[in-house]
Structure 1
Amino acid sequence: MIYGTCTTASKSLSFKTLVLQKSFNFRVQFFSNCSPKKLRMDNNLNCSIEGNKKGSRGALVVLEGLDRSGKSSQCTRLVNYLEGQRISAELWRFPDRNTDVGKMISAYLTNTSQLDDHTIHLLFSANRWEKRLLMETKLKSGTTLVVDRYSYSGVAFSSAKGLDIEWCKASEVGLLAPDLVAYLDISPEKAAERGGYGGERYEKLEFQKKVAESYKAIHDVSWKFVDAFQPIEDVEKQLQEIVIDCVTECQKGKKPLSLLWSK
């Protein structure tokens, strides 16, 4: 009887030990899986997935216009304004004269080299293509790009020289489409009165008149026209108002990226 009792007690103790051991192992595993570090990682992953679902991104804002319409100064002011609103923003310019292609373009624009009209058009286009991937990466990371001239300038200036407008567009198809195009509207005559006019190849009054006509042929209803002859502060304020609305819309994920002149 004593032997039997000890055996029963021993079995009972072994059972309890097994249960306690499993319970302990479960708790260790549970708290290991739910450690603060893992919880933070899980939360970050969930936030990342949620952010991707929302499609929040930076905006692609393009300023266009005739030479000496004030694009460069307004682009700089616009980036400063956005940064003041705690919005990540960068200023881009086309042509980008720092690349290999850009250096060839710069030589042409400063009259130190001569190129066929078709050739220079394709070089301008190539200059935009070589920045396309970086542009998309920046936008998807949440950075707004304020761009001084884009594909529209390429088409307007080349078609003003007599090239077929559809041929000019062809090399630009597939580049990223802007979320906003702001056209700084000024007459060629008024632009010619501004300081520094005539320093580069295209800054000739008669040619700028042709460029103005080309812009009229390629613009669409989505463009925002801003009177560039009004005081610089008024131009700045008007641009801020239309750009901040566009940036907010992109941040909310309401505008997916699209391609330029795609059907």
Structure 2
Amino acid sequence: MATKRGALIVLEGVDKAGKTTQCNKLVSALQQSGRPAEMLRFPDRTTTIGQMISAYLEKKSELEDHTIHLLFSANRWELVWFYNSSCLLQGFSLDWCKNSDTGLPNPDLVMYLQLSPAQAALRGQFGEERYETSNFQRKVQQKFEQLIQDSSVNWKVIDASRSVEGVHNDIVNLSINTINTAQNQELGELWK
């Protein structure tokens, strides 16, 4: 009998869309319902590579754009985990960005927390990191829309301008359905 597995669920969105808040709430809700859950955050700033990325994002160092993208990818490979929005940040073609992440685990669900860059700019601490500008976040949002249309990944768009609890309820419902479905399926490889 095959062992059941958990689900790989990813939250994406522009900076300040509420990804960390919603991840924490989802992990807590799943654990309270008796399901094991763990949150991974990228970049993982605790690793050597993650510390280099953190210094770059905090404007304490400079790196060439291709180099930072490859560091984001290497940071995911350190834990053999999921492709995320880092390729969108540098403005490279999606094909170029996908190459370094091909073979990472394919998520069972990606929830895109849709929030306009103007709304994101009103949220706390916006602008402290390198990519937190409204103009840049508009470009990221456009790339997300392209990626959602061009992907074999299971994307769900959630309106992140609503209340924290309203967004949370949608995330929990989608996650539970995905967990129940994923346990009987094999985990695929990204971009294959």
TM-score bin (small chain) = over 0.9
TM-score norm. by structure 2 comes to 0.95
CA separation in 1, counterparts of 2:84 and 2:148?
8
CA contact 1:152–1:215 (8 Å) conserved in 2:
no
CA separation in 1, counterparts of 2:40 and 2:116?
25
TM-score norm. by structure 1 comes to 0.70
User: Residue 85 of structure 1 aligns with which residue?
Assistant: 33
Q: CA deviation at 1:250?
A: 2.2
Q: Any idea what the Cα deviations from partners look like across 1:174-203, whole Å, max 9, x if unmatched?
A: 100000000001111111111111010000
Structure 2: runs of 5 or more not aligned: none
1:119 aligns with 2:92: no
Q: Which has the larger radius of gyration?
A: 1
User: Residue 260 of structure 1 aligns with which residue?
Assistant: 190
Q: Name the amino acid aligned to 1:239.
A: I
1:203 aligns with 2:132: yes
User: Residue 166 of structure 2 aligns with which residue?
Assistant: 234
Corresponding residue to 1:109 among 26, 34, 57: 57
Q: Any idea what the Cα deviations from partners look like across 1:101-138, whole Å, max 9, x if unmatched?
A: 00100110101100000000000000000101xx5xxx
Cα RMSD after superposing both structures: 1.2
Q: CA deviation at 1:152?
A: 3.3
Structure 1: runs of 5 or more not aligned: 1-49, 136-149
Q: Name the amino acid aligned to 1:256.
A: E
Q: Name the amino acid aligned to 1:234.
A: G
Matched pairs, number: 189
User: Residue 178 of structure 1 aligns with which residue?
Assistant: 107
Q: CA deviation at 1:166?
A: 1.1
Q: CA deviation at 1:158?
A: 2.0
CA contact 1:125–1:171 (8 Å) conserved in 2:
yes
CA contact 1:110–1:200 (8 Å) conserved in 2:
yes
4+ residue runs over 2 A deviation: none
Of Structure 1 and Structure 2, the greater helix share is in 1
